[in-house]
Amino acid sequence: MANILILGAGVMGTALAVPASDNGHAVVLAGTPLDDAVVAHMQASGGTHPKLDAPLPGTVRVIADAEMTAQDTDRADLIVVGVSSPGIAWAVDRLNGLLRRETTVAFVTKGLDRKDGAVVTFAETVPERVSRLGTFIGIGGPCIARELALRLPTASVYAARDKADAERAATLFRTPYYRLAASDDLTGVEACAALKNFFAIGVSAMQTRYPDARRADGQSKNPTAAAFTQAVHEMATLCERIGGARSTAFDLAGLGDLHVTVGGGRNSRLGHSLGRDRTVEEAMAQDLANETVEGIDTARVVASLLGAVRLQANGRDAVEFPLAQAIIDAVLGNALFDFDFEDLPTPANAS
């Protein structure tokens, strides 16, 4: 039995308590200050998160931010940071205040960052911000939290610089319904987990851009399948530029997570609006009022990665990343989404 401390009682942090607890580990789930109401609800309701359908196993201890002490971190064999990207500063502060020895920390939080002029992942910037962070574990792959909490079959990948560390962490969480691969491409897993939000906007836009009234879901299929393929290839090249392995984009953290992100969630809903010829400003004012769309932040970083930021589509220049460029033009330039297949390169079949 191990002791696992999860920081953040959002849906993903909470869902990870299920396999950890099913494996017989002692799990403490600590909310952020923003989670106080959720924590109170869970404490009063026998562990049912308001956005999840199933209660947590009774062995999970749910506490509010104010209740968490250094004893909780002292005991922890592994800490999970389960906050979304705006919460990373809170997690860094809390870890710096509480950690009294080097501890392994697994991050669900994803985002791209800049460091010394280069685009990097949290795996390159967070460790130096947390003084006693032992091993950094990145968690990627196609996982909707609600489905994991329901114990539906889910596959994910745990990554660390040393694959043995990744496998050690994965062993704590792996169950018959939560199948975990281990990878030493930490940067690649982190990069793909952030990039998939960005590309999901573009692929989802193709789902609504060419409607097909003869299908139950109203969507044509050829444009989306082509855009999905193009997205995976552009993600592979960008992953490589960030320092990850191409192959990671062709596995769970890349095409797998992109698959699950298209058609569900806020990035996809933004894409669906763009596909219906709304601008990003219109979409954010209407369908997505008061919501954070992580793929928009990623778009800013991808734009700097591409070098030439064309904020408006001005003519049909040959571009190396036609789908990324179309997303950037729409999301940062507030232009209509226009992914023209004439911009597709005539590529070799090599991936």
d(CA 229, CA 141): 17
3-state helix, strand, coil in the chain (%, to 5): 50, 15, 35
Kindly state the smallest distance separating residue 247's Cβ from its own copies, in Å.
4
Instruction: Enumerate residues 6+ apart whose C-beta is below 8 A from 165.
Output: 104, 135, 137
CA dihedral 188, 194, 198, 200 (to 10 degrees): 80
Interaction of residue 113 with its own copies, rule CB under 8 A: no
Q: How many CB atoms are located within 10 Å of the residue 194 CB?
A: 27
* DSSP letter for each residue of 35-84: GHHHHHHHHHTTS--TT-SSPPPTTPEEE-GGG--HHHHHH-SEEEE---
Interaction of residue 55 with its own copies, rule CB under 8 A: no
Interaction of residue 230 with its own copies, rule CB under 8 A: yes
Interaction of residue 231 with its own copies, rule CB under 8 A: no
Interaction of residue 315 with its own copies, rule CB under 8 A: no
Kindly state the smallest distance separating residue 28's Cβ from its own copies, in Å.
25
Binding residue positions for substrate: 110, 266-267
By CB atoms closer than 10 A (0-12, 13-18, 19+), residue 82 is buried
Interface size with its own copies, residues (CB under 8 A): 70
Window 234-263: residues binding its own copies (CB under 8 A): 245, 247-248, 250-253, 255-257, 259-260, 263
Token pair in block for residue 195: 């990039």
Tokens 């609006």 locate to 273
Scanning 22-30, 34-42, 173-181, 288-296 for contacts with its own copies by CB under 8 A, the matching segment is 173-181
Binding residue positions for NAD(+): 8-13, 145, 266
Q: Which of 38, 79, 143, 327 binds its own copies (CB under 8 A)?
A: 143
d(CA 325, CA 319): 8
Kindly state the smallest distance separating residue 102's Cβ from its own copies, in Å.
26
Interaction of residue 301 with its own copies, rule CB under 8 A: no
d(CA 245, CA 1): 34
Kindly state the smallest distance separating residue 210's Cβ from its own copies, in Å.
5
Identify whether 196 is a catalytic site residue: yes
Kindly state the smallest distance separating residue 186's Cβ from its own copies, in Å.
10
Mask 177-216, x = binds its own copies (CB under 8 A)?
x-xxxxxxx--xx----------------x---x-x-xxx
Interaction of residue 144 with its own copies, rule CB under 8 A: yes
Collapsing DSSP to helix, strand or coil, 313 comes out as coil
Query: In the chain, how many H helices and how many E strands?
Result: 15, 10
Q: In Å, how far are 28, 126, 221 from 276, measured between CA atoms?
A: 44, 38, 16
Residue 21 or 248: the one with the smaller Cβ distance to its own copies is 248
Interface with its own copies (CB under 8 A):
53, 141-144, 147-148, 152-155, 157, 159, 163, 167, 170, 176-177, 179-185, 188-189, 206, 210, 212, 214-217, 220-226, 228-230, 232-233, 245, 247-248, 250-253, 255-257, 259-260, 263-264, 340-342, 344, 346-351
Active site amino acids? 196
